Every structure is written in structure tokens, then in C-alpha cells.
Structure 1
């Protein structure tokens, strides 16, 4: 395949998955957030939780639909642009994706209707159960997807028969060496991303004088969640890095801009800033801290690991890209921890809802979680290159033999359609977030809610969010 055509095929898949990944990330965490809100409402009877549930379920619904639409395209791309990959590894990746459909997607789809439209038609227990099942379905979906992708990073439990991969141990395939770390890191990253979006929404309203109980509640809940899981993500990232060093040392060397080891006593420095040069095999303008690379990656003062010069040129990932994508992710992670700590201090001083500098910080950090996930995803996927299945199948050997013209036309069409469709969807979600989460006027009648209005209703009646006391209804 022509190198330009191969690059276009890679760009096309990278573009479609970059757009798609944003929506499942929000779906996973918003579904769990909705389950928490409904559980809090049923337990306490405080209508603020009910109102926030109805506020965020609208955003969840739009996001869920866009995630489904954007995900369909990638399934077709496996067959159209990466047919040799499907032929080589389809006996493993195919069943894993099928398991995702049979378990997670059916679970989500089966209960999604009750969750979205059953508020006035089923009892509170069944509605709560439906919300939990949708949340569980999103987590199961992520599990299967990451099992498949992690196997491509660290393949295990297979044999190669007649030039194709054949599974020999499904437990080893699913629980491959990088799977637990990638699942935990990605899952916590999803919750962080949505916590930042919820906090930014609350900050936006607070900055505009919307100091209602609803705004304060979601602002405090989001920042409280961030305080719990942002430091945890740093720990998970360290564990993931150690695992990557063991199984994909070239990726770590490229991330660090590390070309060769010096004397054993010097250890490996941490390069804070630099411009890795793949041609000269150096990191120009490097700013380094002695021994810190050894301390972080080997947990010893003078530990060493392989540099890029010890790896054949044909097997090296692009350090110039990985060096900065990784630092964007880590830099944003540090800002997230700083936001959480500053919010905790402001809460302790009784200024959480009055400190406008904190609210501006939270507002600007709104998209940071999604940007960090994209940067981390680029680090993971570009760091696997030049392999599509690490050590087994090169990316150049996995692509379908298309020409530059058809790939150029399809890429342009994808970009135009995606910009049109998903920009409209994102703008609509932002419009929903700008709406006041507190219901206008007095609270709605206390005799409505799940299970209390099962008779046939006018179509516009679905727009009414009736209140009910926990425990009422069938």
C-alpha cells in the first residue's frame, strides 16, 4: 500500500475514533451519576436530587445517541480500510466485540427505554433498577472494548495457525497483561471527565448569579468526586506506566525522549521539556531533572531502562508526538488535582460558592478531562506503532489496498459530515447545560412520579416531571 494512502487510512480512523470516544466516556460516567442522584432522592426524599436527575438525563440522552451513531462508522472501517487486520485477528477481536453487543449493548438498550420514558409508568424500585442496569451496561461495554484493545497492545492466549491468530485461552485473551491497568485508568478517567463537566456547569451558573440549591449541590458533588478520584488516577497511571515499561519498553522510551543510558550511577533523568528528533536521535533543548526518570519508572534511584537507540529504527514509535501528548495528559492531571484540593480548602473556609476565582478555574477546566483522555489515547495508540497487534502484525500489513484518491474523498466527507452532525449535537448539549437546573416556580404536585400515572397520557404530558415521595407506586 502506498505510504500516503496508509497515512490517510490511519488519519481517517484516528479522526473517527477521536470524535467517538468523547461520547462513550460521558455516557459511562453520566449513567453512574444519574444512578447516584436517583438513589439519593429515594433515600432522602429531597427533590433537589430528582430535579438534577431530570436535568442531566436530557444531556445523557443526546450524548448516548451521538455515541451510538459515531460508533457504527468504526465497525465498518474495520472491514473497508483494515481488512487484513480483520483477517489476521478477527477470531479474537470479532468475538470480543460480539460479547460487547450481546451483553452490554442489549443490557443498555433493554432498560434505556424504562429509564428515559418510564418515570410516570413504573414504580420507583423498577425505575431505579433500570437506571442501575443502564449504568452497569455502560461499564460492561467499556470492559469488552478495552479487553479487545488491550489484547492488541499485549497479546496473550493465542497461537498463529496458517498466518492467522487462533485463541487458545480465552481467559488469557481477556485478562491480558495490560487489561486491568488500562480498564481502571480509562474508567476513572471517564468519571473525572464528567465530574469536571458537571463542576464547570455549576461554576457557569454560579458566576451568573444562579446561586440555587440545585447549582450548589451539583457543583459540590462534582468537586467532591474529583477530590476522591483525581489522586487515585495518578496512582493508577504510575501502575500502568510500570506495566507498559515491562511489555512495551519502546513506548516508554519514546514518551520520555530517552535515547540511551549513561553510566549506571547516573540513572535516568526526567526530561521536563525538549524536542525529540527522530532523525538525529537526540532530544534537543532538553531540560532534565537527574535521577527522577529512574525514580518514577523503576522506583529506584539509579535504575535504568532501554533507550530508543537499542530498538531498531523500523520498530520505534514517534517520540516527537508521544513526548508531548503524554505531557499534556499529565499536566492536565496535575491541574485537576490542584482544582480538587483548592475546592476542598475553599469548602473548609466556607467559600466554596463565593470564591469566583475557583469558579472560573472550574469553568476553564470543564473540557480538560476529555482533552486528557484524547491525549492519553493518542499516547497509547501512537506508542504501539508500527504495530497494529504488538509484535505480531504491522500497521502497514493490516490496511486494505486502497488508493490515495478514494481515501482522500472519504476522509473529507467524514470530516464534513462529522462537523455538521456532531457540532450541532454538542451545541445542543451546551444549550441544555445553560438552562437553570432548578424548576421554575413552585415544586410540582407531590402525587406524581414513577408508578403513579399509568393511564394513557397526552404526548405533551411526557414533558412534565412529576414529583413523588420515595416508596409510592407499585
Structure 2
């Protein structure tokens, strides 16, 4: 097969594998870090032991994801020096420093504070521990900030120009605050938070439907719901604003997202492709179901129709993205999941208002709880498909309209890249199995509700423990 002898294709495949797999883990740490700040804050305010036990339980999953994230993130960045050395030489003046900020400002802050958050519960003042939890969350989300700065700059390079094959910075802040930066960061921030909330909600629903600590996990489900009511609709709106930016600055990507081959002239609303079978070679869709004028009306939400909506044929083949079918369906998968999660949020909110989520009723909402369990992994799929749209749709450029991907790859023997690609696939499969094993073990074991709460003596802690965990204190004769 030709791709096995193509260094560019193999290097792109390797980076895609490592990037998509790595993203699965920081997604949960960035969002769950905020959730831990919420529940620990509620414990400090109310001194309700349930919130303390929530913080202790969910932090175990945080630590597991943090560890896998570190193990998979470092090899991914090494590829900039091994597989993509010409890219690093060309843009390292800016790109390298931004990745350095991510490591020194963000990762180090998160890693240094994590030790206090994990081991400091009974060793430091609760206020100091809470500050450490906040710093962990800040560090995790600051990593997202710097990574999105770097990637959004690749989408809309600003603040300098390529001179003799090297990007020379003239305005560092203009490069950081490039046109794609704001909505890219907001879109990813809410994506990680929404994904984490639905994971927590799905796990909570699993406990409730299996009648394990239903009262305890109904609290976490309600905290999730109270937060997701704001997050889910806002995420859809920010996603729309991001798509508008693509229309303005990357029209070839928009054409690929919509499998749109022909240009719609100014003043004529473009049709929206609901489902299609794109054919790259024939430069057409073999079949398609369209909503007349649909895309034009979506774009008119903010744009007037004075601009044409360009089709792929308006761009030379060497300057437009290929794999149109992958981009097209990845985009629809992301959007479909976004609206599905909003719908689940509305249904759950309605049941909450009807009193169906009260402790005495919540176990009866089996269909709703099963929907939350099913929704738990959907955010991961939406994020990975979103990154496919973002990066595959940027092709054939690594730095949009300035540096081509073919000029960014290292000239390595294809056999070497194939060997490392297979190695990564094997190791990451093992890591995935390990993470699922230990994650399921944490979930099966459940929270330790007998764990002593700082500031509360043992007797009080036992008195607040659910009855099924209390020792049988009847006389021996009565027990017999």
C-alpha cells in the first residue's frame, strides 16, 4: 500500500493517533478540576460531610486521568523535534515559546499543587487545601489556554511573517491574541467542562440506577445539572460563533465541512447539506439531502448575504483540504452530539422541576438515568471529531496559507515512522486498557463514606454515615 511508504502520511497518522488519544485525558482533568473546586467549596461553606466525600471520591478519577495525560502528552510534543523538525525550525520562535509557557506556567503549577490536593487533607489547613485545589484547576485550564493559543495561531497566523523560511515575530501579543484565539479557547473550555460534567453525571446515574448510595449521588447529579444548564446551551452558541469565523477566514474549510463544491453567489442563500456522500475525485456529492437556503440562513445570523459562500472548486486542488467525507461527517457528529446533550439537559431539568429527582423518586427515572449513562462518553467523541475538523480541515497547511504540511515534515525513512506508529498503537492500547481497568475498579468500589471528616470527631462522622454502612450494635443475643 502506498501510504506505508509515504513519510508524510505516516507522520500525520502518528500525530493524529497520539493527539486524539492524549486529548481524552486532559479533557476530564480540566473540567473535573472545576467540579472539585465547587464541591470542596460547598463542604467548606456547609460542613456537610457528603461534599467532603464527593471531593475525595472524584479526585481519585482526576489523579488517574492526570497520570495517563502526562504519559501520553510528553511523547506527542517530542514529535515536533523528530517527525516535524522543519516546522519547529520555521516557527519555533513563537510556537516553541508558547509550548514552553504551557509546561512552565501551567503544567508545573498543576503538578506542584496536586500533591497538596491529594495528600494534604489532614496535613494542612482546609483553607490552604482549598487554595491548592483551585490552583490545580487553574493550572489544568491554563494548559488548555496555551495549547489553544498555539493551535489558533496555526489557524490564523498573526504578529509577524515568514522571512527566509523562518517566522519572525514583530508583535508578540498580536500573535497570542490572533483572530481565532478567543472563540477557540472558549469553545474548548466549555467542551472540557461539559464533557466532565456529563461523565460525572453518567457515573452518578449508574450508582443511582443500581441503588448504590442513591441519596449521595443524587447530590452530584443535581450539582452537574445546575451547572450544565448554563454550560450546554452556551457551548452550542460559541460553536456557532466559531463556525462564523471559519466562514470569514477559512472558507475552504467551511466548504469541506459542508461538502460544498459549487459557489453560492452573493445575495443567494446557500443550501444546507443534511447528509451526503462526498466524492473527492469526481468533485461532487454522489447523493445528498439538502435543506434549501439553510446554510445561508445560519450564516445570516450574523453575516449579511453580500458575500458569496465559496465552494471547493473555487480553490486550486493543491490549496484545499481533501478527505472531505471525514471532515463533513466529523463536523456533523460534533454538532449532533452538542444538540443531543442540550436536549438531555432540558429533559432532566423538566423532571427536576416536576420533583422527579427527589431522593424518594429519582430511582424510578430509569429511562432518564440510562440516557445519562449513555451520554457519558459522547463529549469525548465530540471533542475528537471537532479536532479532526479543525486540523484536517486546515490542510494542506500547518500554518494556514504560509507553511505547507509537506514542507513541515522531517525526511525520515518510512519504515522508521511505521515502526514508531505501531509502537505507539500497542503502548496506547495497553494504557487504555489499564485506565479502563483502574477507572472501573474505582467506580465499582465506590466512595468511602466512613472516611473521617477533618474538623468532625469520629462519633459524629459515624452518625452521618448511611445505615447500610453502620456496624450492627445490637446485643449478641439479639443478633442471633
**Offset, 1:27:** 0.8
Matches of residues 45-194 of structure 1 in structure 2 within 5 Å? 45-194=47-196
Cα distance, 1:89 vs. partner? 0.7
Match of 1:444 among 452, 455, 458: 452
CA distance in structure 2 between the aligned counterparts of 1:338 and 1:410, rounded to whole angstroms: 42
Deviation at 1:364, TM superposition (A): 0.5
Distance in 1 between residues matched to 2:139 and 2:430, nearest whole Å: 29
Q: Distance in 1 between matches of 2:133 and 2:453?
A: 23
CA distance in 1, matches of 2:145, 2:268: 41
Query: Higher mean Cα deviation, 35-44 or 253-262?
Result: 253-262
- Tell me what 2:27 maps to: 25
Aligned to 1:322: 327
| C-alpha displacement of 1:106 | 2.0
Say if 1:446 and 1:385 are closer, same or farther in 2 by CA, change over 3 A.
closer
Aligned to 2:221: 219
1:239-284 superposed Cα distances (whole Å, 9 cap, x missing partner): 1111111111100011011111356554201100001111111122
Question: Deviations for 1:352-409, whole angstroms, at most 9, x for unmatched residues?
Answer: 3231110111110110001100010100000000001111111111101112211111
Runs of 4+ off more than 3 Å: 262-266, 300-304, 443-449, 465-468
TM-score, reference length from structure 1:
0.91
Match of 2:289 in 1: 287
Map of 1:27-46 to 2, 5 A cutoff? 27-46=29-48
Aligned equivalent of 2:263? 261
2:385 alignment partner, one of 370, 375, 395: 375
What is residue 311 of structure 1 aligned with on the other side? 315
Shift of 1:205: 0.9
1:335 and 2:340 are equivalent in the alignment: yes
Instruction: Pick which of 420-429 and 183-192 moved more.
Output: 420-429
The separation in 1 between residues aligned to 2:304 and 2:443, in whole angstroms, is 49
String of CA shifts for 1:33-72, please: whole Å, max 9, x gaps: 1111110000011111100000001110111111111101
Q: Does 1:245 align with 2:247?
A: yes
Structure 1 Cα separation of the partners of residues 70 and 97 of structure 2: 19
User: Could you tell me how far 1:433 is from its partner in structure 2?
Assistant: 2.2
Distance of aligned partners of 1:33 and 1:311 in 2 relative to their CA distance in 1, 3 Å threshold: same
Separation in 2 of the partners of 1:467 and 1:159? 68
Q: Is the alpha carbon distance of 1:263 and 1:10 closer, same or farther for their aligned partners in structure 2, counting shifts above 3 Å? A: closer
Flag structure 2 segments of 5+ consecutive residues without an equivalent. Answer: 465-480
- Give, in whole Å, the separation in 2 of the partners of 1:309 and 1:406: 37
Distance 2:63 2:409 in 1: 35
The separation in 2 between residues aligned to 1:143 and 1:331, in whole angstroms, is 26
CA pair 438-403 structure 1, distance change in 2 beyond 3 A: same
- Of 93-102 and 187-196, the range deviating more from structure 2: 93-102
Q: Distance in 2 between matches of 1:302 and 1:159?
A: 32
| Aligned-partner Cα distance in 1 for 2:462–2:171 | 52
How many residue pairs get aligned? The number is 452
RMSD, aligned CA:
2.1
Q: CA deviation at 1:107?
A: 1.3
Say if 2:398 and 2:405, in contact at 8 Å, map to a contact too: yes
Structure 1 Cα separation of the partners of residues 331 and 133 of structure 2: 35
TM-score, length basis structure 2: 0.90
Pick closer, same or farther for the CA change 1:129–1:291 going to 2, 3 Å: same
- Closer/same/farther in 2, CA of residues 162 and 123 from structure 1, 3 Å limit: same
1:411 corresponding residue in structure 2? 421
Write the distance in 1 (CA, Å) between the matches of 2:108 and 2:454. Answer: 34
Moved more, 324-333 or 223-232: 223-232
